[in-house]
Structure 1
Amino acid sequence: MPYITTTDGTEIYYTDQGTGQPIVLSHGWPLSSDAWQLELKLFADAGYRTIAHDRRGHGRSSKTYTGNDMTTYAKDLSELVEALDLHDVILIGHSTGGGEVVRYAAQFANGRVAKVITAGAVPPLMVKTDANPEGTPIEVFDGIREGVLKDRSQFYQDLAVSFFGFNRDGVDRSQGLIDDFWRQGMLVNLAAAYDCVKAFSETDQAEDLKALDVPIFIAHGDDDQIVPIVAAAEKSITLVKDGTLKVYPGASHGIWGAYQEQLDKDILAFITGEDFEK
């Protein structure tokens, strides 16, 4: 399996498919590059080189005790891009991965990035503060940490229900999606899973968004129960210089079903510069 080793000795697993302009995909918590399996094939079939990595501590990468923070995640991504000598890169990030690609593009890209795409992304700031009253109370994130420590196996199964919106009337429940969420979550070592909660909830990325000098497509479901749109996409679009926001009615945090089908079409249209319905 392909790996790179970062300067601090962490092994980062990645998968690399297709040829052409590179698309690099960054997954959410507590998942892995497996979350992008459909996009890896779809975008490779469309003529792109598609690359997805397992964040440190996640999936098949090193089970790290240290470095589980947004800046180190972005540095790891930078080392992957440089090791593969990628240029004119399209970055795609979901949830925590959205924070990772935004920080990388803002602080570490060195001219290698062409466009950024986020879906259900955590920037600018998830946690509720006096300056961010629309955010989620810290007690919610404390509950996530408690769930991870107490019984992470059951917690991941329970979390998958709201992640994919299966607690909504009229939404067909997919046990397969829940099982796969659980499978990927159980690959995260406990320290990385615990520390990543702080990384995705308390990292203020307003300045990263302001610093972006490339176009960004911000996608978000208006029924996202994990990263509520009001404190995320709706604020992010006001901070970037060249942004496009598309809200997906009824879409959950998890990318699946009709939402996934439309989002993937919109991503390809954004990459090529085509218009799509906003």
Structure 2
Amino acid sequence: MQDISKQSAASLSRRHALLGGLTAGIAAGLPAIAAAKTAKQSLTATVTPGKPAMSTITTKDGTEIYYKDWGTGPVVTFSHGWPLNSDAWEGQMLFLARRGFRVVAHDRRGHGRSSQPRSGNDMNGYADDLAAVIEALDLRDATLVGHSTGGGEVARYIGRHGTKRVAKAVLIAAVPPVMVKSAANPEGLPIEAFDAIRAGLAKDRSQFYRDFAPQFYGANRPGSNVSQGTLDQFWLWGMQAGLLNAYECVKAFSETDFTEDLKKFDVPTLVVHGEDDQIVPIKDTAVKSVRLIKGAKNIYYPGAPHGITATHQDQLNADLLAFLKA
């Protein structure tokens, strides 16, 4: 019994020592726990429950527009083509951000990470969304850059909102002045070409985007070195757009007449286009736009496709930089 009592006493002593050490450890750790809790609260304080933490602005009709805002310096905005999103500009954005420019690009409504509303899927809506981003970020003396459908967005922005916040404009493989064939535009593409795009989207948009990508980047031409990754990312970006939004955007980019918008350009403007553009033929668009925009300069890339932001990234970046610094 005496041995048991001694063992119990020793056990009790060890237990008290253990509890004492544990208590001391907890006491010592309380400030750190409190600090961690405070830090956690400060990190989550600005996050709205149920919504992802991202950069967005909300337009007057309640549509959330996602945007990227990198770097500091003179402002350059980027408006992307159909059916892509702002990721398509990262090759230009990184290049310019590293060279002293502030670069801003948004996902068009219905595309990428922006809302997919049932209304506003037209050039007026797109231009007003661009205006909302520019005004929310209070961007001034900006160079507006638009590719393909984004070129139409830039043109309509200037037509509707003027150039009080604009220093320069760049249209790259852009859809203005108008794509569809009509009595007033006999050189345009027949409406059946755009009906076929809509039919392909409605039937199997995933396969349609896979089939469309080679034309977009000229990968169907002999000697093309377009990577599979480039083609795959086109499919990925396309699939992020809502079907309704992508479908309605076809009418917006093909049937909108930007003639009067282009006549309102009163800032230095650069028009860049690939001479082998299978999506937006150069003779129906860029060549005519240069005639309509007072003082516009043009650069045409021999043998280049529609997706020159990717296929001719280095050349385009150099030309953009030179124009920005001129």
Q: Which has the larger radius of gyration?
A: 2
User: Out of 15, 18, 26, which is 2:71 matched to?
Assistant: 18
User: Normalising by the residue count of structure 1, what TM-score does the alignment of the two structures yield?
Assistant: 0.96
In structure 1, distance between residues paired with 2:262 and 2:130: 17
The answer as to 2:130 corresponding to 1:77 is: yes
User: Which residue does the alignment assign to 2:121?
Assistant: 68
| 1:224-256 Cα shifts (integer Å, max 9, x gaps) | 000000110000001011200111001100125
Unaligned ranges ≥5, structure 1: 274-278
1:200 matched to 2:270? The reply is: no
Shift of 1:38: 1.1
Structure 2, unmatched stretches of 5+, are 1-53
- In structure 2, C-alpha distance between the alignment counterparts of 1:240 and 1:207, rounded to whole Å: 10
Greater Cα shift, 255-264 or 200-209: 255-264
Q: Which whole-Å CA distance do the structure 1 matches of 2:265 and 2:92 have between them?
A: 24
> Aligned partners of 1:201 and 1:256: how far apart in 2?
21
Which whole-Å deviations, capped at 9, do the CAs of 1:181-240 have from their partners, x for residues lacking one? 000000010110000000000000000000111111000000000000011000000101
Q: 1:121 to 1:181 in 2, by over 3 A?
A: same
2:158 aligns to what? 105
- 8 A contact 2:217–2:311 mirrored in 1: no
1:255 aligns with 2:305: no
**Shift, 1:109, TM fit:** 3.7
The 1-side partners of 2:207 and 2:295 are apart by 42
- What residue in structure 2 maps to residue 158 of structure 1? 211
User: Cα offset for 1:40?
Assistant: 1.2
- Shift of residue 107 of structure 1? 1.9
Counterpart position of 1:226 = 279
- Does the 8 A contact of 2:92 with 2:313 survive in 1? no
Aligned partners of 1:56 and 1:138: how far apart in 2?
A: 24
Which of 172-181 and 157-166 deviates more? 172-181
Return the offset for 1:110: 5.0
For residues 72-126 of structure 1, give each alpha carbon's deviation from its aligned partner in whole angstroms, at most 9, with x where no partner exists. Answer: 1000000110000010001100000000011112321450000000110000000
Q: Mapping of 1:137-152 within 5 angstroms?
A: 137-152=190-205
Q: TM-score, normalised by structure 2?
A: 0.82
Q: Whole-Å Cα distance in 1 between the matches of residues 61 and 163 of structure 2?
A: 21
- Give the corresponding residue for 2:81: 28
Partner of residue 231, structure 2: 178
Equivalent of residue 269 in structure 2, options 216, 225, 244: 216
**Residues 256, 215 of structure 1: CA spacing in aligned structure 2 closer, same or farther, 3 A cutoff?**
closer
Q: Distance in 2 between matches of 1:88 and 1:181?
A: 32
Equivalent-residue separation in structure 1 for 2:162 and 2:184 (angstroms): 29
Amino acid at match of 2:189: T
> 2:147·2:171 contact (CA, 8 Å) conserved in 1?
yes
Name the stretch that deviates more: 104-113 or 222-231.
Answer: 104-113
Conserved? CA contact 1:74–1:104, under 8 Å: yes
Maintained 8 Å contact 1:119/1:218: yes
* Equivalent residue letter for 1:23: V
**Root-mean-square deviation over aligned CA pairs:** 1.0
Q: What does the per-residue CA deviation read over 1:110-145, in whole Å, with 9 as the maximum and x for residues that have no partner?
A: 500000001100000000111111111100000000
Contact 1:78 1:109 in 2 (8 A): no
| CA–CA distance in structure 1, aligned partners of residues 67 and 117 of structure 2 | 16
Name the counterpart of 1:276. none
- Aligned partners of 1:56 and 1:84: how far apart in 2? 18
**One-letter amino acid matched to 2:253:** F
Q: Distance in 2 between matches of 1:218 and 1:21?
A: 20
- Letter in structure 1 aligned against 2:142: V
Amino acid at match of 1:12: I
Other-structure match for 1:87: 140
Deviation at 1:44, TM superposition (A): 0.4
Q: Tell me the matched-pair count.
A: 273
Q: Residue type of the partner of 2:83? A: P
Decide which moves more: 100-109 or 9-18: 100-109
- Residue 256 and residue 93 in structure 1: after superposition, are their counterparts in 2 closer, same or farther (change >3 A)? closer
Report the CA distance between 1:65 and its aligned residue.
1.3
Matched position secondary structure for 1:79: helix
**1-side partners of 2:77 and 2:163: how far apart?**
16
1: distance between equivalents of 2:87 and 2:56?
Answer: 15
Cα displacement string for residues 17-70 of structure 1 (whole angstroms, at most 9, x for unaligned residues): 000111000000000000011111111011000010000000000012111000
